[in-house]
């Protein structure tokens, strides 16, 4: 409702300009193409609400680092 009202009122605050959207896709399309070309299982997956895949921890540990988890 609010979004529709803003649109009708000419308030573009919550909307992206067409050139901004096109530029975003220009950046994202090559990334999506690479992801599609990867073999299945190449990108680690994890359950929603978790801290992420095990591979993320391993990546940091290689440099002697660790995640800083909020308490």
Binned at pLDDT 50, 70 and 90, residue 13 comes out as confident
3-state secondary structure of 46: coil
Q: What is the pLDDT of residues 26-57, one digit of tens each?
A: 999 999 999 999 998 888 889 999 888 989 89
Q: What's this model's pTM, rounded to 2 decimal places? A: 0.52
The Cα 38–Cα 60 span in angstroms is: 23
Provide the residue ranges of all domains of the chain, joining segments of one domain with +. 2-61
Q: pLDDT exceeding 90 applies to what percent of the chain? A: 51
């Amino acid at each position: 409702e609010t979004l529709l009202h803003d649109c009708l009122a000419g308030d573009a605050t919550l909307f992206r300009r067409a050139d901004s959207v096109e530029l975003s896709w220009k950046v994202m399309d090559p990334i999506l193409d690479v992801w599609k070309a990867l073999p299945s299982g190449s990108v680690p997956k994890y359950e929603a609400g978790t801290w992420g895949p095990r591979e993320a921890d391993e990546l940091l540990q290689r440099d002697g680092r660790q995640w800083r988890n909020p308490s």
